[in-house]
Structure 1
Amino acid sequence: MSVAPVPHRRWLIAALASVLALTATGAFAGHAFSADVPRGAKVLGISIGGTAAEAADALRTGLAGKADQLAAPLTVRVGEQTATVQPQDVGLAVDVDATVARAVSRGHNPFATLFGGAEVAPVVSVDEARLAAALAPAAQQSGAAMTLPGVGFDGTTPKPVYPKAGRGLDAAEAADAVRDGWLRRGEVEVPLGEKAPVSSKDDVDRMVAEVATPAVSAPVTVTTPKGAVTVSPKAIAASLVITSDPKGELYSRVDAKRLRKALGKELAKVEVQPKNATIDGSGGAPQVVAASGGTLVDTAKLAGDLLPVLKRSADRAVSAGFKDVKPATTTGDLAELGIKEQVSSFTTYFTGGLSSPRSKNIVQIAKEVDGAIVRPGETFSLNGHTGPRGYAEGYHDAPVIMDGKLVPGVGGGASQFTTTIFNASYYAGMKDVEHKPHSYYFTRYPAVIESTIMYPTLDLRFTNTTPYGVLIDTSHTDSSVTVSMWSTKVYDSITTQYDPKRDIEQPKKVALEDGPTCIATEGSEGFTQDAWRIFRKDGKEIKREKFTWRYNAEPQFVCEAKKPPLTAKP
């Protein structure tokens, strides 16, 4: 059953339509003779009416007056965590041109002008990637990160890592939320959403079957103009990377750096290493040893060519070329940097000969540092120069200090070299940036001015504050390691003056359970001492620096067999 329209309702609708038609007609007609941006239009309270150019100028001027507000830190809530974002760090700003274009568009739309009012919302720009990076720590604490798929190796056995969904930050959604909430709310909330890797468990299994397993099934022969090189399954496993991008898309590649490291002795059969210019002072008067170039296998290209071969079960061969490599330091560099004379030398001594694991570690780290040059203003980092010091890098198990006692650990003995190079830099006048003496005092080292090291948390660093370059030269015998530094002398001499020991503490006896990890010690007294580094120039003392350290009393550790538990007599 239909109901006829009420006459007065019919009249009201018709009247409203006429008003809207007249309004639209008038607005369009008026706009044809008006400015680009209607009079009365505002952005953040800033009047911008006029031509587009005038509006842009007015908006820029007005925003300059709100500089403090626009630069104020923004609080962003990500799940249960909050982060403080600096607008300039993430590119958060008002896009003037886009905002004016929006205002012009509103002026051309009479309905927007009629119902939208005079206020125009600003168009806000933000760098999505930088914003996501700024919010990442809060997102990680608040959400459960998804597990990205990949394939690792245990020796030469592929080990799949299956994907797992989590809750995380969506960069585009975060940017939208910040754009919308900035300048409108004191705190912006960014949602965390369900995130799942795009690759599935089946994709991982397929990667294992089609790439990882055949890759390590047999060696690959690399032919070069100077002979063949064999890439063993172990070297393949060490250099083949099967991982995924941030979205969880699986991919595989051969890492060129890992490949070079894994091939090691194989490459040495066909390569000629470049040699840096250095100084030989063994004959008394220093002699410059000229640099020479080298020819190395182009492992960057080989890595790309090797990947498709790894997927084959037969015809596992690939060719590789060479590239000429210039020395890092030439004879001209030494002259230009003023490297002409020995400015310091320091030697420490060890026992056990060169066959002991500890001695091997000392020699290994010394070889890695030999020939390094520290240019004026540069800071030398021992950890940065050597990188990790593990089995793969040629280091061996030897005693290290852990939790106050000596235990077997890879790289033991590196601290002796650290002390040696620290003293060489100390007597060369280098600026001490980071070093830490041992917890206990060892008589083979000078008190206070000695240093330990632990990768990556504890480093030795010094800065060359002289106007000349510094060449680090290392050498060893079967019972000692020496570090010499070559440059141009700035000081007549650098010496050390000690204050008396104080707050002396005697060691205590501590019994440890006998076993392979127990290392007995005689113990040593604890004490505090000051050492003064004294600089002299033109026959006068020009400055002195104070070094202070407190040594703990090292317990006398005794290895004893574990006593059986007491049993009650019947």
Structure 2
Amino acid sequence: MQATPSAPSYSPGHHLLRNAGWFLAVPLFFLVLVTLTLAVTVTGYQARHADRIYTGVSVWGTDLSRMTPPEAEQALAAAFPYAQQQAVTLTDAATGQSWSLSLADLGMSLDAAATANVAYQIGRGPSAAEDVRAQFETWYYGRQVAPVIIIDEARLDPLIAQIAADVDRPPVDAILSFDGNQVGYTPAQAGRALDKAQLRTELLAALGDLRHAQLPLPVIALQPRVADAGESAQRIQNIIGSPMTFYLQEPLADDDLTRMEIPPEELKSWLHVEAVTQPDGTLTQNVTVDENGVRNWLMQISDRLYRAPVNARFYFDDNTQELVVVEPHVSGRQLDVDATVAEFMRQVYTPNRSLPFVVTPIVPAAHAGATAAELGITELVSESTTWFAGS
């Protein structure tokens, strides 16, 4: 019996699979090759930058590529010459005075070590993929790192205090002064003070910009409490500058009291100057004269001004049953103290230095116009003749 070998079976699918494997092997090979190449390149790049800043990192235009942190710190310190250069200019608009301040004056300095460390940490984060991307972008595009700036705000306060010592000027109140009967007047002067809080805020803002700044000095105007005493000075001068003269408008006789003066020294003793606080906090000078002073002075001379009245002299006419005036009456007078005080108080503050005594006339009961009936006379009571003159 003869066995006949069977013909080998043909499978098209197996042939296609073998061809596909061949075609896939080539890209996979290149993919693996590229991956290995990239891995070797990245590893080599990272190895070359071990303990060094990655290529492309710079601060303020200073290239820190492949520097160690200490080297970068030295390079940054050398590249930061601005500490003593003018950074801020302050100008006082009122006086034209100016102050030029450097960054060092303002307490600003570069922390070179911290800045170098920030530059070193680029491409060295917790994510390997992010690190590779950062390393590539830094190499390809470059990367600017913001410097770490230290601002010692405590240094600003003494600096601002020193400027304030040059700027501050306290307000001067208006002043009244006396030299005998002359009144002096010193006008008020407004003061000024540095707005320290505002200046501090503006200086810190200028430091944050890291560029030269021209700043007007913030100044607060200080108003004096006694702003104007000129009117008060004139009022006082009117009071004590010259005597106050009283006179009688209608003297009763040639030898009657004519004029009396209140000397400036006595007027000055009656003077009161009081500071009065206004709603806005300012003070004004309230100048007054003591009314009791002039009242007491008038009371002391009132007896010298008093005149008693003199009755009229009559004879009784039996035919007419009326009185016939032989000699007219003489009215008396007395000082009206209240009215004279009121007139004095109205006039003492003015340049007019003369005023009349205010007097009240005293008319006797037996005045020239009185009738017999008014005096209760109805007949001649007695009649006599004497040899004495004037009887």
**TM-score over 0.5 (shorter chain):** no
More helix by share: 2
More strand by share: 1
**Bigger Cα Rg:** 2
